[in-house]
């Protein structure tokens, strides 16, 4: 039996968001509902003495949802707010975590976060198991956070598994994603990622948190960041070594907990073809859409609405099925 049997209409975009780039960008800039309460601060100490910092919102159900953001984001990202709101509406507790040094966790980590930090996701799951022993744990990751989650559930890094996993647009082939970011219009995303990473690295260096003497040009590629910063400080020999060790596309068959993967064929910088292998695993439900961009998924509106957020509807339906 598959983990869930989502019966959804496809993501049919409005006329002004037909392509992957427009889906990605419009979804980011359009108005998005936000949590009204900040939530309780949570700190989780890691074995290497770094600390993860997140926000907890109490619910009344027997489920707790763990959320992990993408590259350059935080627990204040719009998709984290929206997913938190729909989970809380269903009565679930929510723990929205920041990766190392992100958001309110700035200044609490000397080591870099990256797409393979399944061991960090594992530590958050272990924390939730200890603090909430009678609750079912759902872990959901977006983009970089989704691949970190898949590193855990494919048994590559970390050991404390959630009961359910949801991965949205995970970069499962890191080398291929790095190459795609360097081509054509995708270079704009590349430069944006470089800007965020470069800013954070310089702040850590200037505050004395880390020693880092190499210069990073604002016109670098994300590959360059991975080669001169992420890989050596993350314990890898090179960017290629990091990509090889932390990609998950060849390990889908190892997933043995109910897992939903949401992916769009028009994601500008994540190849969709490797995900076909995931659908061969009976524990995985692959929701592969023709349109949606990168964590976009804007659909035609109803009843006078200019658009709908198809991803939110999908996540809500997945959470409903998990409750059954």
Map residue 20 onto helix, strand or coil.
helix
Same domain? 268 vs 199: no
Same domain? 255 vs 242: no
Tell me: pLDDT of 102 over 70.
yes
Q: How far apart are the first and last CA of the chain?
A: 15
In a domain, 3, yes or no: no
Q: Dump the DSSP string for 153-189.
A: HTTSS-----SEEEEES---SHHHHHHHHTSTTHHHH
| Mean pLDDT within 197-209 | 93
What is the structure's pLDDT at 315?
97
Confidence band for 3, pLDDT divided at 50, 70 and 90: low
| Mean pLDDT within 62-79 | 98
Confidence band for 1, pLDDT divided at 50, 70 and 90: very low
Lookup: tokens for 62: 């027997």
Same domain? 121 vs 180: no
| Mean pLDDT within 64-87 | 98
Domain of 113 in residue numbering reads as 15-172+250-323
| Mean pLDDT within 16-42 | 97
In a domain, 10, yes or no: no
| Mean pLDDT within 302-313 | 94
Same domain? 103 vs 137: yes
Query: How many domains are there within the chain?
Result: 2
Burial of 205 (0-12, 13-18, 19+ CB in 10 A): middle
| Mean pLDDT within 226-232 | 97
In a domain, 8, yes or no: no
In a domain, 6, yes or no: no
What is the structure's pLDDT at 215?
87
This model's pTM is above 0.95: yes
In a domain, 160, yes or no: yes
Please name the helix (run of DSSP H) or strand (run of DSSP E) that holds residue 288, with its range, or none: strand 284-289
Tell me: pLDDT of 157 over 60.
yes
| Mean pLDDT within 310-323 | 94
Same domain? 129 vs 223: no
Same domain? 114 vs 34: yes
Same domain? 257 vs 237: no
Tell me: pLDDT of 2 over 60.
no
Lookup: tokens for 250: 């060849």
| Mean pLDDT within 221-250 | 97
User: Positive or negative CA dihedral for 308, 262, 58, 98?
Assistant: negative
133: left (phi over 0), alpha (psi -120 to 50) or beta: alpha
């Amino acid at each position: 039996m598959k983990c869930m049997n989502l019966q959804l209409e496809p993501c049919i975009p409005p006329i002004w968001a037909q392509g992957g780039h427009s889906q990605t960008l419009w979804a980011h800039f359009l108005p998005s509902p936000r949590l009204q309460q900040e939530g309780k601060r949570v700190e989780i100490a890691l074995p290497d003495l770094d600390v993860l910092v997140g926000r907890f919102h109490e619910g009344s159900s027997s489920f707790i949802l763990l959320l992990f953001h993408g590259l350059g984001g935080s627990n204040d990202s719009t998709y984290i707010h929206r997913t938190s709101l729909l989970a809380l509406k269903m009565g679930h507790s929510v723990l929205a975590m920041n990766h190392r040094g992100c958001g309110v966790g700035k200044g609490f980590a000397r080591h870099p976060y990256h797409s393979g930090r399944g061991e960090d996701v594992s530590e958050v799951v272990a924390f939730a198991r200890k603090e909430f022993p009678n609750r079912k744990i759902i872990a959901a990751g977006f983009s970089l956070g989704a691949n970190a989650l898949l590193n855990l559930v494919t048994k590559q890094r970390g050991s404390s598994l959630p009961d359910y996993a949801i991965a949205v647009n995970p970069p499962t082939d890191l080398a291929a994603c790095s190459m795609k970011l360097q081509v054509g219009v995708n270079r704009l995303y590349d430069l944006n990622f470089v800007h965020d990473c470069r800013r954070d690295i310089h702040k850590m260096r200037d505050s004395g948190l880390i020693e880092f003497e190499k210069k990073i040009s604002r016109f670098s590629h994300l590959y360059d960041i991975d080669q001169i910063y992420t890989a050596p400080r993350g314990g890898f020999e090179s960017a290629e070594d990091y990509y090889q060790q932390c990609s998950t596309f060849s390990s889908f068959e190892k997933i043995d907990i109910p897992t939903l993967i949401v992916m769009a064929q028009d994601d500008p910088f994540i190849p969709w073809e490797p995900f076909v292998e995931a659908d061969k695993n009976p524990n995985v439900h692959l929701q592969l859409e023709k349109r949606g961009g990168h964590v976009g998924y804007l659909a035609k509106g109803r009843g006078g609405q200019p658009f709908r957020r198809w991803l939110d509807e999908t996540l809500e339906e997945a959470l409903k099925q998990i409750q059954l």
